[in-house]
Copies of this chain bind each other. A is one copy, B any other.
Amino acid sequence: MIQGFNPRTGKPAGEPVAETPGADVDAAVAAAAEALPAWAALADEDRARALEAVADALDERTKELAALADEETALGDTRLTGEVGRTTGQLRLFAGVLRDGRYHDVAESPAGGGIPEIERISHPVGPVAVFAASNFPFAFSVMGGDTASALAAGCPVVVKAHEGHPSTSDLTAQIAQQALASAGAPAGVFALIHGVDAGLQLLKHPDIAAAGFTGSTAGGLALAKICAEREVPIPFFGELGAVNPVVVLPGAATQRGADIATGYAGSLTLGAGQFCTNPGLLFVPAQDEALRGAVADAVTESSGAPMLSERIYSGYEAALAEIEAHPAVTSVAAGTTGEVPWGATPRLFATTLEEFAADTEVLAKERFGPAGLLITYPSAEELLPVLAQLGGNLVGAVHGDPGDQADLATARQVIAVFQRTVGRIVWNGWPTGVAVNAAQHHGGPYPATTAPATTSVGSAAIRRWLVPVAYQGLPAELLPAQLAPAADEG
């Protein structure tokens, strides 16, 4: 049985949920495979309406969903209400992507050189497995971005629920299934399963054509390996951990050090630091002692929050123990811990660039929680090669004074490094706060993700679930509807 816990009390939240038996996993995948042709063949408008029906149904139950999720995650009503909205916004975004139609990626080339005309269009890859994340119980969970984008692409989806919020997952799934059915979606187009074993069985099922995952590096790499070693390997779109370096340039530090300090502490402690976009590494000019003090003060003034689970809390404590024991690191600030069993204390550690560079294996590691490492750098020349050697990250941020030519010159160099090492570059802002739109790229080089050319947030997320087919010399009556002359000339 899978039991959710209330992070505020450490006590069970709600009834335990049964792990999905093997036969039911097989049945869910079989139903998904059976649903594929009908779901894939639906007109864009009809699939868009089905997604909107799910969005409407979830919106209607926002209060209930947020309250249940708060029991299981303690993320608070404001955040959770907003997250339901973000989730339904994502579903509507993909409805818009469907109506726009460009996602079909249609191309047409005339006959030539003895070869007839060729038309190309993308088709859904097949039934998709989605592994829900713990830290966004809606937006990266059962009906989150992976599920929404895969359904939009015409792929049936089987979601493996996260153990952290089983009841929230069940309620979300029930609402979604009802809405899909009312909207005329084929049975089997969406299913939820519970349990680690069930998830592994799902991933290995021959009818599963691709998988999406948001979670830890270790978990993601283990699943990626399974996908690669299947008899028929499948693409695994894993969004793993990141430390998201933030570089403060000297001009910005002088100009608005106080703002930067409070902004950093706010981003670091958002969601108890349990965001994949958490700014784990803060690079500040060595000469600017004021900024260092301000950051330390801001972290000291920040409050902890309950972490999502005992496992995550223990992991955070272990990460803190490791970095505290590091000879080259000093602990410079600690915020307030709440009166809760799994309360994360915001922490700030400090080291020099030289020490950091000497042991990036430990020091550049993700510490899942509100623990920041402040790294003092003596000069841009020394900073750049160290930044270049960091592993892939989801986000890199630069703070500079737009009126300071030295800052701008260094910013260009930092950005040139980030272009090869992160998925999103932020100017005078923070990595947290991921806009869901057409231009978003929530990805990044390995090990931030296992598929650096793809995004798990925003319109382009649909591309992960599509594969092209070229049609050579087919008469209109045999072409897919979107390619037939009567249809949109796309």
Chain A residues proximal to chain B, CB less than 8 Å: 37, 107-109, 112-116, 118-120, 123, 125-126, 228, 232-233, 235, 391, 402, 408, 411-412, 415-416, 418-420, 422-429, 433-435, 437-443, 445-447, 450, 452-453, 455, 459-460, 463, 466-475, 477-478, 480
* Residues on the B chain within 8 Å of A426, using CB: 472-473
CA distance A126 to B450 in the complex (A): 16
Judging by beta carbons under 8 Å apart, are A446 and B233 in contact?
yes
CB–CB B425/A474 < 8 A: yes
Residues of B within 8 A of A447 (CB): 232
List, in ascending order, chain B residues with CB within 8 A of A126's CB. 420
Known contacts A439-B109, A478-B408, A478-B411, A453 near B425 by CB under 8 Å:
no
- A478 vs B473: C-alpha distance when bound (angstroms): 47
Assess the B424–A472 pair: CB atoms within 8 A. yes
A108 surroundings in chain B (CB, below 8 A): 438-439
Which residues of B are found within 8 Å of A125, using beta-carbon distances? 452-453
This chain: how many copies in the complex? Answer: 2
The answer to whether B119 touches A439, judged by C-beta atoms less than 8 angstroms apart, is yes
User: In the complex, what distance in Å separates the CA atom of A426 from the CA atom of B471?
Assistant: 6
Q: What are 28 residue pairs bridging A and B, where the CB atoms are less than 8 Å apart in the complex?
A: A109-B440, A115-B435, A118-B435, A118-B440, A120-B440, A120-B460, A125-B452, A126-B420, A232-B445, A233-B450, A235-B453, A412-B478, A415-B474, A415-B478, A418-B469, A419-B480, A424-B469, A424-B471, A424-B472, A425-B469, A427-B471, A427-B474, A427-B475, A429-B472, A441-B468, A443-B467, A452-B467, A453-B468
The residues of B that contact A450 with a CB separation of less than 8 Å are 233
Tell me whether B120 and A439 are in contact (CB under 8 A).
yes
Q: How far is the CA of A385 from the CA of B391 in the complex (A)?
A: 46
Beta-carbon nearest neighbor of A452 in chain B: B467
Chain B residues within 8 Å of A453, by CB: 125, 235, 463, 466-468
A435 and B420 CA atoms in complex are apart in Å by 34
Smallest beta-carbon distance A96→chain B, Å: 12
Q: Is the CB of A440 within 8 A of B37?
A: no
The listed residue (B232, B416, B427, B437) touching A473 by CB distance below 8 A is B427
Q: Specify which of B437, B463, B470, B477 is in contact with A441 (CB 8 Å cutoff).
A: B470
Query: Taking the nearest CB of chain B, how far is it from the CB of A414, in angstroms?
Result: 10
**A461 shortest CB reach to chain B, Å:** 12
Question: What's the Cα separation between A469 and B114 when bound, in Å?
Answer: 40
Q: Could you tell me the distance between the alpha carbons of A469 and B453 in the complex, rounded to whole angstroms?
A: 9
The 3 closest A-B pairs by CB, nearest first: A109-B437, A441-B470, A109-B439
Contact present for A438 and B470 (CB under 8 Å): no
Residues in B with CB closer than 8 Å to A433 are 114-115
Contact A113 B446 (CB under 8 A): no
The complex places the Cα of A428 from the Cα of B116 at a distance, in Å, of: 10
Most buried by B among A109, A415, A467: A467
* Chain B residues within 8 Å of A419, by CB: 123, 469, 480
Enumerate chain B residues within 8 angstroms of A412, measured Cβ to Cβ: 478
Given the complex of chains A and B, what is the CA–CA distance between A32 and B119 in angstroms? Answer: 36
Cα-based distance from A402 to B478 in the complex (angstroms): 10
Q: Which residues of B contact A446 (CB under 8 A)?
A: 232-233
Which of B120, B233, B422 contacts A469 (CB under 8 A)? B422
